[in-house]
Amino acid sequence: PEGYDAVQDRIKPAGERLAERGAEAVILMGTSLSFYQGEAYNQQLTRMLRDATGLPVTTMSTAVINGLKAVGATRLAVATAYNDEVNTRLQAFLGEHGMEVLAIAGLGIEAVEDIFSVTQAQLIEFGARVSAPVPEANALLVSCGGLRTLEILEPLETRTGLPTISSTPHALYAAKALLGMNIQWPHFGQLMAS
């Protein structure tokens, strides 16, 4: 969380620069950056960026919540890149949206550069391992915008039998909605294909 605090002052100027360069919408990337202080703070970040840019705005955390709601998720298995403290904050954030976390486990990654050493095969195994003990879960969330998850959504859904929502792919899915685009992306999980 101290690392998130350190970048807060850089968010608004970054949004303003994007607007100046012709952006038509803005997404605050970084799931934990937007959920770590709860939903009220997530909404505060959204308003701040919207006011600063005059553009449609969302956050990665909002995109994940909307993705989970779109697949009817209420009981979750959650696989993350985070440590226990950040996982606790994510669980609280999900609870604010009426979602029950049945299992949560993290890779304990704290340095951004360490994310790049996690392979997609490892993520598939990790997601399957986290969801296996909770057959009553009705969705799997893979949380961390730095994890490369687009190509593993369909294999994870096949392996676990659960609709799978993940940070970056579903932020991109939210971006198309902000821009009024209606595009289907087959082979990247059931929500992206809809």
pLDDT of residue 75: 98
CA nearest to 85, candidates 62, 66, 104, 99: 104
The tokens for 6 are 């350190």
Residue 86 confidence (pLDDT): 94
Is the pLDDT assigned to residue 4 strictly greater than 80? no
Structure tokens that stand for 82 in this block:
């985070």
Q: Strand pairing partners for 75?
A: 100
In this structure, the strands spanning 75-80 and 139-143 are parallel
The Cα–Cα gap between 114 and 128 comes to 21
pLDDT (0 to 100) of residue 136: 98
Please state, rounded to an integer, the average pLDDT across all residues of the chain: 92
pLDDT at 191: 72
Mean pLDDT of 98-120: 92
What's residue 6's pLDDT?
74
Among candidate residues 69, 73, 192, 88, the one with its CA nearest the CA of residue 134? 73
Question: Which residues fall within 8 angstroms of residue 2, CB to CB, at 6 or more apart?
Answer: none
| Residue 8: per-residue pLDDT | 83
Residue 60 has pLDDT above 80, yes or no: yes
The predicted structure's pLDDT at residue 185: 66
Q: What is the pLDDT of residues 22-43, one digit of tens each?
A: 999 999 998 998 999 999 999 9
Residue for token pair 């971006």: 175
**pLDDT recorded at residue 190:** 72
User: Percentage of the chain surpassing pLDDT 70?
Assistant: 95
- pLDDT tens for 111-146 read 878 888 999 999 999 999 999 999 999 999 999 999
pLDDT of residue 115: 86
Q: DSSP states of 24-86 as a string? A: S-EEE--HHHHHTT-HHHHHHHHHHHHHHH-S-EEEHHHHHHHHHHHTT--EEEEEESS-HHH
Q: Which residue has the higher pLDDT, 172 or 46?
A: 46
State if pTM tops 0.95: no
What are the C-alpha distances in Å from 132 to residues 85, 128, 170? 23, 6, 23
Write the DSSP symbol of residue 115.
G
